[in-house]
Amino acid sequence: MKFLDLAKVYIRSGGGGAGCVSFRREKYIEFGGPDGGDGGKGGSVWVEAVDGLNTLIDFRYQQHFFAKTGQHGMGAQRTGHDGESITLKVPVGTEILDEDEETLIADLTEVGQRVLLAKGGNGGWGNLHFKSSTNRAPQRANPGQEGVERTIWLRLKLIADAGLLGLPNAGKSTFLAAVSNAKPKIADYPFTTLVPNLGVVGIDGREFVIADIPGLIEGASEGRGLGDQFLGHVERCSVLLHLVDGTSETVAEDWRVISDELAAYSPELAERPRVTVLNKVDALDPETRAERLAALQAETGTRVFEMSGVSNEGVSLVLRALWAQIAAARPSTEDDTPWRP
C-alpha cells in the first residue's frame, strides 16, 4: 500500500428540503385548511478516526464528498425524510486543516473521535406552520436552508513515542528492524527509506512505538533531498533518537547538520529531549571509536551512547534511555518509574 500523509478534499453538506404548500381537500369536509409538511434536514459531513488505517491514500482517488439533500415536504402534513450524512474515515493522528493549510480545525488523536465538518441545512416549513387566527389559508412555505461547501486538508502525523533522526545511511532502518517486528527496506545506499515506518519496541516488560522517517541532509528545510516533509511525523514524539554514523569522519558535523535542520523546521522540536547515539561501532577499531565518541560528546555536551544495530551492542541501554524520557513525559503510574541511565 502506498503511503500518503497529505490530501486535499472537497466537502458539501446537504441542503434542507423545501416546505410544501398544500390544502386538505376531502369530500364532505367544508373547512380543510392548510396541511403542507416540512422539508427534511440535509445530511452532514463528519470525520472519524478509525483503527487499522495508517495512510491517506484513499483520498487520492476520491476527493469529493457530498452529503444528500433533504426531501421536500408533502401534503397531508408529511415531513420529508432527512438526507443521509457521510463520514470520512481517517487514521488516528490526522489533523484537519482549513483551506489555507494553517488553521487547525481538529486533531484526531484517539480511535472513535468524531468531528462535524459541515452541518446539513434545516428543512423549510410547510404552510401549516403559517396558519394563524388572521390567516386561515396561508399560501407560503419556506425553502430549505442551503448546505455548507468547503475545502479542507487532511494531514497525517504518525503517533509514536520516539522518533528516529539521522543522515541517510545512519543505520535507522537497521536499528528499527533489530528491535521490532517492522520490516523497513535496508540497503547500502542513501535514501533507502522513502516513507515513515513504525515499530513496536519492548524493553524490561514495557512497550513503546518508534517512528523511522527518511534521512535528512543539509538544506532539507529548503527542500533538498526529501526535504522536511516527513518531520511532522516526529512532532508528537516525546523523545528523539538521533543516530550518528560512526564510520563517518565528521561525526560532530553530521550531528550539527541534523540539529540545524530541526531548528529551521521547528524551534520547539529542536528543544525536544534527545538521545544521541554513535552507531555502527562494530565497524570501528578501539582507537577510532574512542576518538569519534569524544568528538561527538564535545559537540553535544551530553552523554553519547555507543551502539551497533547489527551486533546488538548497546541496544538495550539505548532503549532504556528512551523509555526513561517517555515515562517521564507520560502521566506517572506505579509501573512507569523512569529508568535512569
- The pLDDT profile of the chain, 341 residues, written as one tens digit per residue, is 466 788 999 999 999 999 999 998 888 777 788 999 999 999 999 999 998 887 888 898 899 999 999 999 999 889 999 999 999 999 998 999 999 988 999 999 899 999 999 999 999 999 998 998 888 889 999 999 999 999 999 998 888 888 888 888 888 888 888 888 766 555 454 455 556 777 888 888 888 888 887 767 666 555 555 556 677 778 888 899 999 999 988 889 999 988 888 888 888 888 889 999 999 998 889 999 999 999 999 999 889 999 988 888 899 999 999 999 988 887 654 455 544 54
pLDDT attached to residue 218: 67
| C-alpha atoms less than 13 angstroms from C-alpha of 98 in its C-beta half-sphere | 5
* Residues 138 and 283 reside in one and the same domain: no
Is residue 159 within 8 Å of residue 92, measured between CB atoms? yes
340 within a domain of the structure (yes/no): no
* Residues 171 and 310 reside in one and the same domain: yes
338 within a domain of the structure (yes/no): no
Q: Could you tell me the residue range of the domain that residue 299 belongs to? A: 162-329
In the listed set 134, 156, 178, which residue is the last one of a domain according to the structure?
A: 156
As annotated, the binding site for Mg(2+) includes 173, 193
* Residues 203 and 319 reside in one and the same domain: yes
pTM confidence score: 0.74
As annotated, the binding site includes 166-173, 191-195, 212-215, 279-282, 308-310
For the domain that residue 321 is a member of, what is the CATH number?
A: 3.40.50.300
CB-count burial class (<10 Å; 0-12, 13-18, 19+) for 305: buried
* Residues 94 and 216 reside in one and the same domain: no
In the listed set 113, 138, 156, which residue is the last one of a domain according to the structure?
A: 156
Pairing of β 6-12 and β 64-66: parallel
As annotated, the binding site for GTP includes 166-173, 191-195, 212-215, 279-282, 308-310
* Residues 145 and 197 reside in one and the same domain: no
pLDDT attached to residue 53: 84
* Residues 47 and 148 reside in one and the same domain: yes
pLDDT attached to residue 189: 44
For the domain that residue 20 is a member of, what is the CATH number?
A: 2.70.210.12
* Residues 125 and 170 reside in one and the same domain: no
93 within a domain of the structure (yes/no): yes
- What is the C-alpha separation between 50 and 67, in angstroms, rounded? 20
CB-count burial class (<10 Å; 0-12, 13-18, 19+) for 327: buried
Number of domains observed in the structure of the chain: 2
In the listed set 156, 174, 199, which residue is the last one of a domain according to the structure?
A: 156
pLDDT attached to residue 267: 85
